[in-house]
A and B are shown apart, each in its own frame.
Chain A
Amino acid sequence: MNTTLLSILALLIFPGGLFLLGYGLAYEYVDRKLVARFQNRVGPRWFQPLADVVKLLAKEEIVPHGVQRGLFIFLPVAALAAALTAALYVPMAGQVPSYSFNGDLIVTIYLLSLLTICMGLAGANTIDRFSVVGATRVLTQLFSYEAPFLLALLSPAIMAKSWQISEINIYTHNNLWFVLTQPIGFLVALVGLMGKLELPPFDAPEAETEIVSGALTEYSGRGLALFRLGKDVELVIGLTLVAAFYLGGIANPLEFVLKTLALLVVVAGLQSLFARLRIDQTVGLWWRLGAILGLAQILFVIFWRLVLR
């Protein structure tokens, strides 16, 4: 009885549901405000992301002609659900993850990709040409950053000799920060996270100057709101993962806030520094540079483990 209650609490309030949604919205605000300040603007007010989401939820939802109705409604829900589920396996706010088993690193990475896949499917589901172009770009980008991102998260796992996020977290906490010993992996992971979230310079899938809004062009109201929330949640989880793996682990809420915020500042800076890459440039960058760097890093780590220890 008690465990069921705790599980429901974990799903709805603390690492899952409400906390994560609120925190995600707060981080979207910080991100937008920082980018605005970097561009010499005043930027949005603190409740802006919340107002956007509430407004979208209150709007009419149009189901356009030519879509598979059930999928059109189901995909945003699945995307948000996957992102929220992933939160159960990461050390949110420095607490022990609510669920944890050997191999949950892989599960989390796949849950995080589910949002992107849902967006791609949502775009391909409509007959609108902008959505379809956006969908192909979403999926192309998925195939380009996913491998380097995974490689970059694997090298700490190999060092910690575990596939369990909580154990890696403890290991990194007790050792020298991996950002110092494995700077390449850190870079690939951080930039991979930006690719995952389709932040500039990797926002070719939703390039508003070319293809309107990419895969989500036909979504109005609730579906759009859920996708946006999903992205915010993924931002928090991604930052937590990178901070736990490369910035010396997350042991308490204060460390959680400070380390993820520091990462967010770097991400916002990178966003305003670079212009959008074309989709072929994105793929080229990831496979020519990202994957090679990730591989080199992982080979180095394996070499270190086998030979020098």
Chain B
Amino acid sequence: MTNLKLDSNWQRILDKIRTWARVNSPWAIHFNSGSCNGCDIEILATLTPRYDVERFGIKLQGSPRHADVLICTGPVTLQARDRLIRIYEQMPEPKFVIAVGSCGLSGGVFHGCYNVVGSIDEVLPVNVYIPGCPPRPEAIIYGVVQLLNSLKSGVSKVGTVAELVEKQEA
């Protein structure tokens, strides 16, 4: 494996193809870690035929093993914390997290409650924040598009093969 150049042209083309595929087919899983259900209803509304996110290749998956994007709503309660981490860890790399709603961003109205850990980024690395209480479906779609744009431009690091190998060696 050592004589295989990791930044060769061939490898770069492969990385381009991978990014293209990833940007065009983000499968999502939705998890409610303590939301009041307002945000969840908006997410479901986003998935209805009216907004038709299949246009962008977005698909709601039931199994974390099939998902690329974890769409997370609400503050993280003490009870949901371990489950949230578990679901995140069940997802295969590369994976991304979108926090939806004011509560997911900061704890919102539940901030400082006795049973609440806090915002989602205290538990998981969050890629995109979508503010609003609850955010409209347009806002949610916009958030997903932001994530895809950041993937395309390379702001959100997916880890090319070269980087993954470096990380493992380090």
Contacts and interface: CB of A to CB of B under 8 A. Distances in A.
Given A40-B49, A48-B24, A220 B65 contact: yes
Contacts of B65: 62, 217-220, 224
Contacts of B55: 41-45
A59 B63 contact: no
Q: How would you classify the secondary structure of chain A's contact residues: helix, strand, loop or mixed?
A: loop
Nearest to B57: A48
A51 B57 contact: yes
A47 B24 contact: yes
Given A44-B57, A48-B24, A55-B68, A62 B52 contact: no
A212 B67 CA distance: 12
B160 to A, nearest CB: 11
A208 interface: yes
Given A40-B49, A51-B25, A213 B66 contact: yes
Interface stretch (B15-23, B102-110, B133-141): B15-23
Contacts of B68: 55, 59
A220 B63 CA distance: 9
Contacts of A59: 68, 92-94
Contact of B54 (A44, A61, A218): A44
Contacts of A47: 24
B92 A52 contact: no
Nearest to A217: B63
Interface string B90-134: 101110000000000000000000000000000000000000000
B154 interface: no
Contact of B21 (A39, A55, A130): A55
A52 B94 CA distance: 14
Contact of B92 (A40, A42, A48, A220): A220
B62 interface: yes
B61 interface: yes
Given A45-B55, A51-B25, A213 B18 contact: no
Given A59-B93, A218-B65, A224-B66, A45 B57 contact: yes
A36 interface: yes
Nearest to A48: B57
Interface string A56-92: 0011111000000000000000000000000000000
Contacts of B61: 208, 213
A96 B66 CA distance: 39
A52 B57 contact: yes
B68 to A, nearest CB: 7
A108 to B, nearest CB: 30
Contacts of A55: 18, 21-22, 24-25, 68
B62 A212 contact: yes
A133 to B, nearest CB: 13
B41 to A, nearest CB: 17
Given A43-B55, A51-B24, A58-B21, A212 B94 contact: no
A12 interface: no
9 contacts: A42-B52, A45-B24, A48-B57, A52-B57, A54-B17, A59-B92, A61-B92, A212-B63, A220-B66
Given A130-B63, A213-B62, 18 more contacts: A32-B54, A39-B49, A41-B52, A44-B54, A44-B55, A44-B57, A47-B24, A55-B18, A55-B25, A59-B92, A60-B94, A62-B90, A212-B62, A212-B63, A213-B63, A216-B63, A218-B63, A224-B65
Interface of B: 17-18, 20-22, 24-25, 49, 52, 54-55, 57, 61-63, 65-66, 68, 90, 92-94
Interface of A: 32, 36, 39-45, 47-48, 50-52, 54-55, 58-62, 130, 208-209, 212-213, 216-221, 224
